[in-house]
C-alpha cells in the first residue's frame, strides 16, 4: 500500500483557472479594499467581525474564481506574510528617503521587492491618527448608530497609539488629544447625541 505523500505546492501566483486571477490576485484585491482591511485590523472594536468569518469570505472569493485548494490556515498565513513584508519594505523605503536617496530609484526598488505596493500601500498606510479618526467620523456623519462605549474605546485607542509613537513630544500629544476630543464631540452633536450623553 502506497503511503500518501504531501500534496504538491501550488503557487499563489500561478494557480489561476483558464487565465483567470490567481489566488494572490484575489487576495490582494480583497485586502486592497479599505473596508475589508479595516475589518481585518479592527481587533479593538466591540463590533469587530471575527477573523474566521473574514477568511471564509476570502475563500468564497477564491472559489468564485475556480480556486478550491486554499485552506483557511493558508489564507491567514498569507495575509500575515503580506502584512509583515509590507512593514519591512515600508521601513526600508522610509529610511532610504530620509537619507536623501533618489525617490525614483527607491520606488523602483520598492516595487521590485513588494510588487503589490501600489495596490496596498494607499490602504495599509491607514495607520496615522488623522486617517483613522476621519474614517470613524464619516460613520457618524452617515447617522449610523454608535454606542458611547465604543466611541470612548476608539478615542482611547487612537490617543494611546499616538502617545506610544510620539511619547517624547508631550505638548504635541496634548494638543492632538484635545483636537480629537473636540472633533468627536462635534461629530456626536451632528449625529444627534445630547450634551449630557457626550459628557
> Over the stretch 41-81, which tens digit does the pLDDT of each residue have?
876 555 678 899 999 999 999 999 999 999 999 999 999 99
> Distance between CA atoms of 78 and 68, rounded to whole angstroms?
16
Q: Nearest CA to 67 among 134, 18, 9, 1?
A: 18
More confident residue, 184 or 41: 41
The pLDDT, as a whole number, for residue 38 is: 84
Q: What is the pTM assigned to this prediction?
A: 0.60
More confident residue, 131 or 86: 86
Q: Nearest CA to 45 among 195, 128, 138, 146?
A: 146
Longest dimension (CA), the chain: 76
Structure letter (DSSP) for residue 129: H
Q: Nearest CA to 126 among 138, 114, 115, 112?
A: 138
Residues 122-137 have a mean pLDDT of 61
Residue 175 has pLDDT above 90, yes or no: no
**What's the pLDDT tens digit per position in 102-117?**
888 999 999 999 999 9
For 50-198, where are the alpha helices, taking DSSP H only?
Answer: 51-64, 72-98, 103-113, 117-124, 129-141, 148-165, 170-191, 195-198
What mean pLDDT is reported for the chain?
79
Amino acid at each position: 500500500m502506497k503511503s500518501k505523500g504531501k500534496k504538491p505546492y501550488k503557487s499563489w501566483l500561478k494557480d489561476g483557472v483558464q487565465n483567470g486571477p490567481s489566488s494572490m490576485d484575489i487576495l490582494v484585491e480583497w485586502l486592497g479594499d479599505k473596508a475589508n482591511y479595516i475589518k481585518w485590523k479592527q481587533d479593538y472594536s466591540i463590533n469587530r467581525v471575527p477573523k474566521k468569518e473574514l477568511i471564509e469570505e476570502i475563500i468564497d472569493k477564491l472559489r468564485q474564481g475556480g480556486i478550491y485548494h486554499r485552506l483557511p490556515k493558508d489564507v491567514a498565513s498569507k495575509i500575515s506574510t503580506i502584512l509583515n513584508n509590507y512593514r519591512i519594505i515600508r521601513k526600508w523605503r522610509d529610511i532610504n528617503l530620509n537619507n536623501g536617496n533618489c525617490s525614483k530609484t527607491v520606488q523602483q526598488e520598492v516595487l521590485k521587492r513588494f510588487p503589490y505596493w501600489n495596490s496596498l500601500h494607499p490602504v495599509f498606510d491607514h495607520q496615522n491618527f488623522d486617517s483613522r479618526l476621519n474614517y470613524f467620523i464619516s460613520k457618524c456623519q452617515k447617522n449610523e448608530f454608535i454606542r458611547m462605549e465604543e466611541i470612548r474605546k476608539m478615542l482611547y485607542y487612537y490617543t494611546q497609539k499616538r502617545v506610544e509613537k510620539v511619547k517624547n513630544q508631550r505638548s504635541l500629544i496634548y494638543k492632538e488629544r484635545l483636537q480629537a476630543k473636540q472633533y468627536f464631540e462635534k461629530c456626536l452633536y451632528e449625529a444627534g447625541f445630547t450634551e449630557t450623553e457626550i459628557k
